[in-house]
A and B are shown apart, each in its own frame.
Chain A
Amino acid sequence: MEYLFRAENISKAYTGHKALTDVSIQVPAGGIFGLLGPNGAGKTTLIRIINQIIAPDEGFLFYGNEKLKPGHVHRIGYLPEERGLYKKMKVGEQAMYLAQLKGVPAHKSKKLLREWFEKFDLMPWWNKKVEELSKGMAQKVQFIITVLHKPDLLIFDEPFSGFDPINVNLLKQEILKLRDEGATIIFSTHNMGSVEELCDHIALINKSEKILDGNVRDIKKEFSTNIYQLELANLKQPIEQLLDRRFELIRSTAHNGMMTARVKIAAGTDSNELLQKVIPLANVISFMELTPSMNDIFIKTVTGKYPQESSEYEVSESANDYLAE
């Protein structure tokens, strides 16, 4: 696989605590890479190292096949978690200033900014001071500044915090569009919903160490529990009698003549066999695999066990439906 960015064996210590211990990540070109972890795990430190804001104590960084060097900042766009603008400076002037610092000449940045400002309905605010903008508008300006110089690598640190749902949606669409246009995106968050929706790859960092990484689909398969949920009507005999030792009934509830049951299938057994057993004795309304959500995987990996009362096993299909809306 072709990687746009690699960090190898990065360590960073502050007096008294380690921020990163021997962390390596590989960011494939042209996808969305989720950098996950609880607060204080070291995500922001890693992101700052990638942006060359701070230097690692140990380890190497590569942009494409080159060692990371100061000139690369022009090809990276960064939206920090702690972000703001000069309050007293005019919006347009400020956006041009920040674009110039990213190496976009003034005449060019003006044209690009106009396009973006029109897209986000910000044009009337060009000559207003930033303090006159609403928070959402200021966030949009920051987003524009991040992507204006058309970087190959975009880094968003908790991009949705502080946005209202409408703007979150707008932002998501823009991020996906940027990906489709070929940009590579590193996306740091502890909001798992957006991870499942957006990310192709993830790395999970906890207590300064990377504890999990890979393709989102592979990870989900790895964490699959072989539990299936059945919805049955007109059951002719108790469900327990149907099952042999390959199938373990975890839970069943009856309601209005309907039965919902969760069954764990022993490893190596085809799920169709369960279905075949049930079909003669009941009307099968639904049959689906329960896969752990990223949230559960996150909590399981960090704490060692799945969360108690569930959000538990979310139904992956319905989750996708929900997210597609």
Chain B
Amino acid sequence: MNKIRIIIKREYLSRVKKRSFIVMTILGPILLAALMIGPAVIAIMSDSDYEVAIVDDTNMFYDAFSDTRNVKYTHLQTDVDSALELMRGDKFDAVLHIPEIAFQAPSSLRLFSLKSVNFNAKSQMESVLKNEYESLKLTIAGIDPEVLMAVETRININAVRMDKDGLEKTDYPEVSMGLGFVSGLLIYMFIFLFGSQVLRGVLEEKTSRIVEIIVSSVKPFQLMMGKVIGIGLVGLTQFLIWVVLTFAIVGGVRTAFPKLFQFTPTEQVHITASQSLNAEELQRQMETVQMQNTTAGQILEGLQAINFPVMILSFLFYFIGGYLLYAALFAAIGSAVDNEADTQQFMLPVTIPLLFSIVMMQTIIQNPSGPVAFWLSIIPLTSPVIMMIRIPFGVPFIDLAISAVLLILGFIFTTWLAAKIYRTGILMYGKKIDYAELWKWIRYR
């Protein structure tokens, strides 16, 4: 065991001292923080930018348009031509012309602009006009506007999840989704980045021909495990530094520029949540948010509803378990081939389950307790990513237990398998290896 420690120490230190590691460790959080702060900055910069002049020849829609955060409306009593003249003089970004015949022929509506049109503003106007058209038509059809008001209902179902003891808590799927996505993706990235480092490390030892010198002092298994653990620790180190630095940077920026963050949370979560919905629903939801503006509070509440100890512990578990499972396979591949180009044929079956997990994310999120989610979160090859998507939604203990036990068995199995391939592979030079050959190696005593 002492020798494994020596190997781990070398694998760890030789990587942590590398310039590329230090650069990545510092650059990573800056990029991440930029990703988090960026949208807020952009939102503020594009604020109040889009000015629309409305020329309403019908005089029917004066009250319909009210300013929103990004779009300002000005009603002009002039004709279109002078409005366009003003636009050319940079007074406005766009001119919405509602001609006399617009009510009978909606296709005569025109939005003029010099630059390409702001899509967000255009859809806002479309939505406003659509509502107006509809209520006007209903009024014409003889329906009392008061009845219309009474009919209009805003529905917002509060999802309540109950546990067995009958305790209730409100569910916030948007928050769970966000957390699930992020942690699933992180695990995927971690496995890939550091798994391929294991592969390259093994390959380096093989091609530089140092491996036989080392295995005359230690067991091949010790060398393989030492490398896998050492690189895993490098990954954990980098990850922890990233988390700490990212929060430090974001926190610093937040205290320095509190304004930047006033609206951001609302908008960001909302956009993620609505990705799968169609434009109309999106529109309606936007309005809801703008009117109620309580979503920020809801997110806070949602975050409080998440069981963070379970979340963090299981993240670490699947982070490490998933890495160990795949790193062993990557080590086996590195030992079997002579150069990086030959790794392709063996990489495919290893990467497919990982890619599949990512592809399935959407499906899982839509039904996090369904059978697909259940099975994929139990099979060790996909469970590290898929289970992390499920956990924020709450997972029955029994699922978690089965999945954890299977993941542990899974990495013991892949490690055993990899060790068999590894000890033969590292000493094999200049031979084209196929699956039949690997199978022979596995069967050697």
Fill in one digit per residue for B1-41: 1 if any A CB lies within 8 Å of its CB, else 0.
Answer: 00100110010001000000000000000000000000000
Are the C-beta atoms of A89 and B14 separated by less than 8 Å? yes
Asked whether, in the complex, the Cβ of B440 is within 8 Å of the Cβ of A80, the reply is no
- The answer to whether A53 and B209 touch across the interface, beta carbons within 8 angstroms, is no
User: CB within 8 Å of B: which of A67-93?
Assistant: 70, 73, 76, 78-80, 82-89
Which chain A residues (256-314) contact chain B, with CB distance < 8 Å?
none
Q: How far is the CB of A70 from chain B (nearest CB, A)?
A: 8
Cα-based distance from A101 to B215 in the complex (angstroms): 10
Q: How far, in Å, is B204 (CB) from chain A's closest CB? A: 7
Contacting residue for B429 out of A14, A82, A100, CB 8 A? A82
Q: Is B352 an interface residue (CB 8 A)?
A: no
Q: How long is the Cα–Cα vector from A87 to B212 in the complex, in angstroms?
A: 15
Residues of A within 8 Å of B, CB-based: how many? 30
Contacts of A85 in B (CB 8 A): 208, 210, 213
Interface check A21, CB cutoff 8 A:
no
Give complex CA distance A307, B269 in Å: 85
A15-B440, A82-B429, A86-B204 known; A101+B212 contact, CB < 8 A: no
CB–CB A142/B427 < 8 A: no
Q: Which of A52, A54, A70, A145 has the most CB of B within 10 A?
A: A54
Q: B213 touches which one: A48, A52, A57, A98 (CB < 8 A)?
A: A98
Docked-complex contact B204 and A102, CB < 8 angstroms: no
| B205 contact set on A, CB distance < 8 A | 86
- What are the residues of chain B within 8 A of A101 when measuring CB–CB? 3, 6-7, 214, 217-218
Q: Is the CB of A80 within 8 A of B212?
A: yes
A73 touches B216 (CB 8 A): yes
B445: Cβ under 8 A from any A Cβ: yes
Instruction: Judge whether A133 is part of the interface by a CB distance below 8 angstroms.
Output: no
- Nearest CB on A from B200, distance (A): 12
In the complex, the chain B residue whose C-beta lies closest to that of A130 is B208
Of B3, B429, B445, the contact of A55 (CB 8 Å cutoff)? B445
CA distance A54 to B444 in the complex (A): 10
Q: List residues of chain A with CB within 8 A of the CB of B208.
A: 84-87
Chain B positions 181-217 with a Cβ under 8 Å from a chain A Cβ: 204-205, 208-210, 212-217
Residues in chain A near residue B440, CB distance under 8 A: 14-15
CB distance from B425 to the nearest CB of A (A): 12
B427 to chain A, nearest CB (A): 7
B209 touches A83 (CB 8 A): yes
Contact between chains at A83 and B212 (CB < 8 Å): yes
Please encode chain A, from 164 to 192, with 1 for each CB lying within 8 Å of some chain B CB and 0 for all others.
00000000000000000000000000000
* A97: interface (CB < 8 Å): yes
Kindly list chain A residues whose C-beta atoms are within 8 Å of the C-beta of B217. Answer: 73, 98, 101-102
Q: How far apart are the CA atoms of A267 and B205 in the complex, in Å?
A: 58
Tell me the A21-54 residues at the B interface (CB within 8 Å).
48, 51-54
B209 touches A84 (CB 8 A): yes
- B10 proximity list for chain A (CB < 8 A): 97
What is the CA–CA distance of A185 and B212 in the complex, to the nearest angstrom?
A: 19
Closest Cβ–Cβ distance, residue B430 to chain A (whole Å): 10
Q: Which of A53, A80, A85, A87 has the most CB of B within 10 A?
A: A53
Chain B residues with Cβ below 8 Å from A78 are 212-213, 216
* Closest CB in chain A relative to B6 CB, distance in Å: 5
Residue of A nearest to B219 (CB): A70
**Per-residue A-contact encoding for B424-442, CB less than 8 Å = 1, 0 else:** 0001010000000000100
Are B6 and A97 in contact, with the CB atoms below 8 A? yes
Per DSSP, chain A at the interface is loop
A100 and B6 within 8 A (CB): yes
**Contact: B210 with A84, CB < 8 Å?**
yes
- The count of chain B contact residues (Cβ–Cβ below 8 Å) is 26
> Whole-angstrom distance from the CB of B141 to the nearest CB of chain A?
81
Least CB separation from A48: chain B residue? B427
CB within 8 A of B214: which of A14, A55, A98? A98
Are B209's CB and A14's CB within 8 A? no
Q: Do A53 and B14 touch (CB < 8 A)? A: no
Contacts of A117-148 to chain B: CB distance below 8 A: 142, 145
- Given A84-B209, A100-B6, A101-B6, are A51 and B216 neighbors across the interface (CB < 8 Å)? yes
Please, which residues of chain A bring their CB within 8 A of the CB of B429?
82
Assembled-state Cα–Cα distance A48/B428 (Å): 13
- Inter-chain CA distance A82–B215, complex, in Å, is 12
CA distance A73 to B218 in the complex (A): 8
Tell me the nearest residue of chain B to A84, going by C-beta.
B209
Tell me the smallest distance from the CB of A163 to a CB of chain B, in Å: 16
> Which residues of A lie under 8 Å from residue B443 when comparing CB positions?
15
Cα separation A14 to B445 with both chains bound (whole Å): 10
Q: Is the CB of A82 within 8 A of B209?
A: yes
CB distance from B223 to the nearest CB of A (A): 9
**Cβ–Cβ < 8 Å partners of B445 in chain A:** 55, 57
Contacts of B209 in A (CB 8 A): 80, 82-84
By beta carbon, the residue of chain B nearest A76 is B216
Most chain B C-beta atoms within 10 Å of own C-beta, residue among A14, A57, A82: A82
Closest Cβ of chain A to B434, distance in Å, is 14
Contact B427 A53, beta carbon cutoff 8 Å: yes
Report A-chain residues with C-beta under 8 Å of the C-beta of B444. 14-15
Tell me the chain B residues, 326-379 only, with Cβ under 8 Å from chain A. Answer: none
Nearest neighbor of B204 in chain A, beta-carbon distance: A86
Q: Which of A2-23 contact B (CB under 8 A)?
A: 14-15
**How many angstroms from the CA of A82 to the CA of B214 in the assembled complex?**
12
A51 CA / B204 CA spacing, docked (Å) = 22
Q: With a CB–CB cut-off of 8 A, which chain A residues contact B204?
A: 86-87
Q: Please, which residues of chain B bring their CB within 8 A of the CB of A73?
A: 216-217
B7: min CB distance to chain A, Å: 8
**Contact across chains for A53 and B215 when beta carbons are under 8 A apart:** yes
A97 to chain B: which residues have CB within 8 Å? 6, 10
A→B interface (CB under 8 Å): 14-15, 48, 51-55, 57, 70, 73, 76, 78-80, 82-89, 97-98, 100-102, 142, 145
> Can you report 28 residue pairs joining A to B where beta carbons are below 8 Å apart?
A15-B443, A48-B427, A52-B216, A53-B215, A53-B216, A53-B220, A53-B427, A73-B216, A73-B217, A76-B216, A78-B212, A79-B213, A80-B209, A80-B212, A80-B213, A83-B209, A83-B212, A84-B213, A85-B213, A86-B204, A86-B208, A97-B10, A98-B213, A98-B217, A101-B3, A101-B7, A101-B218, A102-B217
Add 9 more A-B contacts to A53-B220, A142-B213 (CB < 8 A).
Answer: A15-B443, A54-B427, A80-B213, A83-B212, A84-B209, A86-B208, A88-B14, A101-B6, A101-B217
5 pairs of A and B residues whose beta carbons are closest in the complex: A84-B209, A101-B217, A80-B212, A78-B216, A84-B208
